[in-house]
Structure 1
Amino acid sequence: MKKILVIEDQAPMRRNLALMLEMEGYTVATAENGRIGVEAALRDKPDLVICDVMMPELDGHGVVQTLRGESSTATLPFIFLTARSDKADVRIGMNFGADDYLVKPVNRDDLLAAVESRLARAEAVEARVQEAASNGSFHPDFSSHEPLMSFGLTNREAEVLLWVAQGKSNADVAAILGMSEKTAKQHLGSIFAKLGVENRNAAALQAVEVLGRPRKG
């Protein structure tokens, strides 16, 4: 049973989100501010975090930055909740490491679709990493896209592939890198051609294999 941590300072919203998720069979833990949320995430190791952006003590951007800086939670699926839908704010959240972004008030179908999608992506990435790790110790380093340029990719294509290797969708990549989704798809098509693959899973597997190699210097 998947465990979800909801970090939200508004009690009615927090209870509503928890109820919707519990009715779908998820185990839900809650936290009323960012500081408590970080402590809960590091202690309880949930499978996914849903976090408000504007909160006292530590806002959502601070929460995701903190969790991305810890090895145990660096790849934890993370969904932001916000009352704002400005694209620049979305981009900031994605750059900090969020996987998805839902605007309040969130309806049940959108919430569950986002949760299911992010859990499925996390499982798919983990499966790829485990497959690549079957031959020995394997620790992909996602800190730089430069090793991916060894495939003959342009700088921008390597940036796109770095995020795809971490399970990001085309829309995610577009938001993170400040491009249109159409441009992200075009880059991905070029990446497929250069790698000689037909889908994003195959491209991501090649990427994590390269990112798992020891780096010089």
Structure 2
Amino acid sequence: MSSSILLIEDEPQMRSNMRTVLELEGYQVQAVSNGRLGIEALRKEKPDLVLCDVMMPELDGYGVLALMRSRAETVDIPFIFLTAKGEKSDIRTGMNSGADDYLVKPVGIRDLIEAIESRLRRKREQVANAVPALPSFDSPLPLESLGLTPKEAEVLLWIAQGKSNAETAILLGSAEATVKKHMERILQKLDVENRGAAALIAIETLTRA
């Protein structure tokens, strides 16, 4: 069965073009023109993923994401921002708001599909591995109990949410090489071979906290 996507985009031509592209890729697409209609659609049917613009009338993308993350029935739906706001500060704000990804327009079709498939695949893996759905990502402090420094705990907190080294560097305002070095030490301290295993340990720890 094909995955379902809720597309929230206020610009008519962009909305139409993206819907066509996604449907040609085999997705079931529901497209709406603003955040308020997006929330109404979410109440009626739970999509597999939400693709949302930031700047919209009535309710912007940040408002949509905040409402989604505040409700148990939608808190775990993968959410991707798609916007023309491409400054580093915009990206950092979007990711800090709880988005799973942040794509800047114009985005290539392959890049868009790869981002969507990556988030859908991660969600399927979480379900298959019975990863707890609602760990608390409010604070990195519980991760220090794993023997990590405060900075290492902060890095692992973002890695556990599926962020790459590059994304984590943006969020923390540091160099990607610095994040990579922290990640090497985290793997050594946790005695695991890859970031996926480290993320699972982090999620289990944050769920118990």
Using the aligned pairs only, state the percent identity: 56
Amino acid at match of 1:188: M
- The alpha-carbon distance between structure 1 residues 15 and 9, as it changes in their structure 2 partners (threshold 3 A), is same
Runs of 4+ in 1 over 3 A off after TM superposition: 125-128
For structure 2, list consecutive stretches of 5 or more residues without a partner in the other structure.
Answer: none
1:54 is matched with: 55
Amino acid at match of 2:143: L
Question: How far apart in 1 are the matches of 2:63 and 2:53?
Answer: 11
2:181 is matched with: 186
1:31 is matched with: 32
- Under a length normalisation based on structure 1, what TM-score does the superposition of the two structures give? 0.89
- Under a length normalisation based on structure 2, what TM-score does the superposition of the two structures give? 0.92
| Deviations, residues 141-192 of structure 1 (Å, cap 9, x unaligned) | 3222211110111112112212222222222222222222222222111110
Contact 1:122 1:167 in 2 (8 A): no
Question: How far apart in 2 are the matches of 1:179 and 1:159?
Answer: 12
Question: How far apart in 1 are the matches of 2:54 and 2:123?
Answer: 22
Contact 1:125 1:166 in 2 (8 A): no
- The alpha-carbon distance between structure 1 residues 50 and 189, as it changes in their structure 2 partners (threshold 3 A), is same
Amino acid at match of 1:174: A
RMSD: 1.7
1:78 is matched with: 79
Question: How far apart in 2 are the matches of 1:145 and 1:126?
Answer: 24
- The alpha-carbon distance between structure 1 residues 73 and 181, as it changes in their structure 2 partners (threshold 3 A), is farther
Q: Secondary structure at the match of 1:144?
A: coil
| Deviations, residues 63-94 of structure 1 (Å, cap 9, x unaligned) | 11221121222232111111121111111111
- The alpha-carbon distance between structure 1 residues 6 and 187, as it changes in their structure 2 partners (threshold 3 A), is same
Amino acid at match of 2:190: L
Contact 1:79 1:99 in 2 (8 A): yes
CA drift of 1:139 comes to 4.9
Kindly indicate whether residue 156 of structure 2 is the aligned counterpart of residue 141 of structure 1. Answer: no
For structure 1, list consecutive stretches of 5 or more residues without a partner in the other structure.
Answer: none
- The alpha-carbon distance between structure 1 residues 25 and 147, as it changes in their structure 2 partners (threshold 3 A), is same
Q: Secondary structure at the match of 1:80?
A: strand
1:99 is matched with: 100
* Equivalent runs, 1:150-161 vs 2, <5 Å: 150-161=145-156
* Equivalent runs, 1:8-23 vs 2, <5 Å: 8-23=9-24
Question: How far apart in 2 are the matches of 1:126 and 1:175?
Answer: 28
Amino acid at match of 1:78: F
